[in-house]
């Protein structure tokens, strides 16, 4: 499943949107490898996606903590569940228990699009209202 980046996916937050575009690029690279990619290439992309979402989820969660986002727990739980599934798929792939199917790539793409368009947009709306006085505090520390 190829994902087309569009205005509808933008949250309006520069760093978060930049991260999301990066995630969409990785998901699309994975899509391109499904039919013809070799194991090493697919494994490398799964590793890149894992590293990318760790940094990205950490960035969002630190912004949530800094602004005392009331839905922090629920949002973090979404991140944890996605990360657990990504880890499970990657482990199954790396141990040859299971290949990377189109279903899995579509799950990753669907989850990320849905999450970005709902939970992340909701958070950025809150952030815009609550971060004004804190914007001079600098970028959050990455994991």
Give contact residues for Fe ion (rule: CB under 5 A): 60, 120
CB of 20 vs Fe ion, minimal distance in Å: 6
Q: Which one, 33 or 111, has the nearer CB to Fe ion?
A: 111
Instruction: Tell me the residue nearest to Fe ion as measured from the CB.
Output: 120
**What value, to the nearest 5°, has the Cα angle with vertex 52 and ends 51 and 57?**
105
Q: What's the token pair of residue 25? A: 């690029």
Alpha helices in 4-140, H assignment, sequence order: 14-33, 39-66, 72-94, 102-115, 121-130
CB of 34 vs Fe ion, minimal distance in Å: 23
Q: Which one, 20 or 30, has the nearer CB to Fe ion?
A: 20
Q: Which one, 31 or 60, has the nearer CB to Fe ion?
A: 60
First-residue to last-residue Cα distance in the chain:
30
CB of 48 vs Fe ion, minimal distance in Å: 16
Q: How far is Cα 89 from Cα 114, in angstroms, rounded to an integer?
A: 19
Q: How far is Cα 73 from Cα 79, in angstroms, rounded to an integer?
A: 10
CB of 37 vs Fe ion, minimal distance in Å: 25
Q: Which one, 20 or 93, has the nearer CB to Fe ion?
A: 20
CA 98 to chain centre: 23
């Amino acid at each position: 499943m190829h994902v087309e980046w569009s205005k509808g996916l933008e949250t309006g937050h520069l760093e978060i949107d930049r991260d999301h575009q990066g995630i969409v690029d990785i998901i699309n690279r994975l899509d391109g490898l499904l039919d013809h990619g070799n194991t090493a290439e697919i494994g490398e992309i799964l590793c890149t996606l894992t590293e990318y979402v760790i940094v990205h989820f950490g960035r969002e969660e630190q912004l949530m903590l800094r602004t005392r986002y009331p839905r922090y727990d629920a949002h973090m739980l979404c991140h944890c569940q996605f990360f657990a599934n990504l880890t499970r798929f990657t482990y199954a792939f790396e141990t040859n228990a299971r290949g990377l199917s189109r279903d899995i790539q579509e799950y990753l793409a669907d989850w990320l699009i849905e999450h970005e368009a709902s939970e992340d947009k909701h958070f950025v709306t809150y952030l815009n209202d609550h971060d004004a006085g804190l914007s001079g505090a600098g970028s959050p520390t990455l994991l």
